[in-house]
Amino acid sequence: MTDGTRIRMAREERDLTLAQAGKRLGITPQAWQQWEVGTRSPNMKTAHKIAEALDLSLSDLLRVGDE
């Protein structure tokens, strides 16, 4: 499973739209979607912010060693 898929699944589990998730980070829904579809990959600082926006730890979001 890709990081983008994990981000999408975590967002959907929280019943957040792309717009709602993006608003939590102060970004556009399109920017958030780029992470989900793999067009762009978040750096570690941004991944941590994504995890916080989804009320997850970074390790839970990325599920280190899950593959």
What's the confidence (pLDDT) of residue 33?
A: 96
Q: What is the pLDDT along the chain (67 residues), one digit of tens a residue?
A: 888 999 999 999 999 999 999 999 999 999 999 999 999 988 999 999 999 999 999 988 887 545 4
DSSP-derived 3-state class of residue 41: coil
With contact defined as beta carbons under 8 Å apart, do 4 and 37 qualify?
A: yes
What's the confidence (pLDDT) of residue 36?
A: 93
What's the confidence (pLDDT) of residue 66?
A: 56
What's the confidence (pLDDT) of residue 1?
A: 81
Q: What is the C-alpha separation between 67 and 53, in angstroms, rounded?
A: 24
Q: What is the C-alpha separation between 54 and 35, in angstroms, rounded?
A: 14
